[in-house]
Amino acid sequence: MNDQTPAPPPYPPPYPPSYPPRLGAHVYDPLAVGLGNASLLGLGYFMMGRRKLAVAAVTGSAVLVSVLVSVARPWCEIAVLGWWVAVVAHGWYAAGRGAGGRHGLRGPALRKRRLIALGVTVPVLLGVGLLRYDASRIERSVDEARESGDCARVLAAQGRVWFGHRAADAPLTARGDRTVDACQRLRTAKGELTAGSAGDIGELKAGFDTLSSVLAEPGNDRTAGVVLDGFLDGVPEGKNPCDAVTVTDWLSNRPPTRDALDRSRDAARRAAPAALVGCGDDLTAARDWAKARTNYQRLLDGYPGHELAADARKGVRKATLTIELAHVRGLLEDTTGGTRADYCSKPAKYSGAPPYRKGVNRAMFTGNDEYTDKLPARWRTTDAARAVLVVCADDDKNGDGVQTCPYENKLTPNFPRNVTFHKIAIPVKVYELRTGKLVADRRVQISGTSCPRVLSYTTYGPTDFGPPSDQYVKASKDDVRSAFEPLIDR
């Protein structure tokens, strides 16, 4: 009989006779678990069969990423990084404490688990890296567009950002979002300034307030400057020059803010002369003479040496003459019926009238027209625009006595009544229309024939007491002309 000695175990003690152990819930590889957890997807915990920990890890990662995307502050990235280190370290530690962890895994099983962990974690980390790189490229494009003042390019560049970029580099993409927000506000400001250029001061102020808020944020000088320059370049080209005057007035009086918006003052000074003259011309066409003159005069006062000053002076003179003539005509409205016009108590000038000089000076006569109507037509006018003088005539009175003659009456034929004949005295004031100044204040005396053979007179009641003791001479047209000629024909 052959005795057979049993073969020694392949592995000496102290290893258990059942080694290598079966892969199971208590046999973990710390490296595989740590790598799996580095994906922030809880893969390491799934390898360990710790599903609750895996779900908690995924939930925590999702919450932190959501906070990172929404808040987009650097501390959020630090929190995510801290969470990443924590789950990696905890997975490594937890795997090392497993029942089979002391012995580790060997062979194909070990490689398989590590390859699975690498196959998930590496693409995740690589993807994050690539997304951060792409986000930086987009941010450079946004910065370049902003520096060139091109908001359209800013919007196009930032439009390439998606959730992946925000999760990978939230603070960087948030800067681009702020630039986009600034451009959108600039678009609003442009609309407000366009409305303001039509004379809407409320919209104009709103536009400048919006520009000011954008300029207060660093890096927006160029984009805001493009909008501002576009507005300022269009100020003198407004459809309505009077609207442009309103705009330039507001810009000139706007308090300085010590930023790019203060350029509006210089732009207003450049645009104001053309706007003032254009507005004056429009108001002249509308026959609003007072406002037209005001605009022309403002140019002369503020920009006396400007190339448009000559046009403004012509506009001022035309408006002034029109206003003066309208005023004079209003004062001379009632020049008939023997009623003196208001001009006689409130004389005014019409600068466009010819000067009072040698020769015949045509006049407008107001007041006593019983005798002035007998003057030659070439001496008189009813149009203030053609007059040199305004002659205000009062009621006629007895002038110098010329001759006294006795006249009988039927009641007392033996007692004739003496009648003194007087020149016709008319107090007159003569004003030079060009200056509105009094040039003559005298009593014009009209001569005529006296002591007619038969004196006609009017009696009242049944008794004839004879003719009045004072009578006017009988004046002819030549007599009236001779009396007034020294005033009219110098």
Backbone dihedral region of 460: left (phi > 0), alpha (psi from -120 to 50 degrees) or beta? Answer: beta
Whether residue 315 contacts residue 284, with contact meaning beta carbons closer than 8 Å, is answered with yes
Mean pLDDT computed over every residue of the chain: 82
Q: What is the pLDDT of residue 319?
A: 96
Q: What is the pLDDT of residue 18?
A: 40
Q: What is the pLDDT of residue 245?
A: 92
What mean pLDDT do residues 302-306 have?
A: 91
Q: What is the pLDDT of residue 16?
A: 45
Report pLDDT digits (tens) over 350-389. Answer: 999 999 999 999 999 998 888 998 999 999 999 999 999 9
Whether residue 26 contacts residue 98, with contact meaning beta carbons closer than 8 Å, is answered with yes
Q: Is 216 exposed, middle or buried (0-12, 13-18, 19+ CB in 10 A)?
A: exposed
H helix or E strand, kind and range, residue 163: helix 163-168
pLDDT at 284 over 90: yes
Report pLDDT digits (tens) over 32-44. Answer: 777 777 777 776 7
Report pLDDT digits (tens) over 89-99. Answer: 777 777 776 54
Q: How do strand 417-432 and strand 397-407 relate by DSSP bridges?
A: antiparallel
What are the tokens at 446?
């009209």
Nearest to 337, CA basis, from 372, 305, 312: 372
CB pairs under 8 A, 24+ apart, for 463-469?
463/411, 464/409, 464/410, 464/411, 465/409, 465/411, 466/407, 466/409, 466/411, 466/412, 466/417, 467/407, 467/409, 467/417, 467/419, 468/419, 469/417, 469/418, 469/419, 469/420
Report pLDDT digits (tens) over 70-125. Answer: 666 777 677 777 776 877 777 777 777 654 444 445 556 667 777 777 777 777 77
Confidence bin at 20 (pLDDT 50/70/90): very low
Global pTM reads: 0.68
d(CA 252, CA 250): 5
d(CA 152, CA 164): 23
Among 48-57, 222-231, 398-407, 468-477, the minimum mean pLDDT is found in 48-57
Q: What is the pLDDT of residue 13?
A: 47
pLDDT at 241 over 80: yes
Report pLDDT digits (tens) over 451-473. Answer: 998 888 777 766 666 788 889 99
Q: Tell me which amino acid residue 350 is.
A: Y
Confidence bin at 68 (pLDDT 50/70/90): low
Phi/psi at 393 (5° precision): -110, 130
Q: How do strand 389-393 and strand 397-407 relate by DSSP bridges?
A: unpaired
CA atoms within 13 A on the CB side of 122: 7
Percent of the chain predicted with pLDDT > 90? 39
* Dihedral sign (CA 57, 63, 67, 70): positive
pLDDT at 349 over 70: yes
Phi/psi at 425 (5° precision): -100, 125
What mean pLDDT do residues 332-336 have?
A: 70
Report pLDDT digits (tens) over 143-182. Answer: 777 777 778 888 788 777 777 667 667 677 777 778 888 8
d(CA 296, CA 301): 9
What mean pLDDT do residues 287-303 have?
A: 94
Q: What is the pLDDT of residue 426?
A: 94
* More confident call, 318 vs 137: 318
What are the tokens at 374?
């007998």
pLDDT at 48 over 80: no
Confidence bin at 326 (pLDDT 50/70/90): very high
pLDDT at 398 over 70: yes
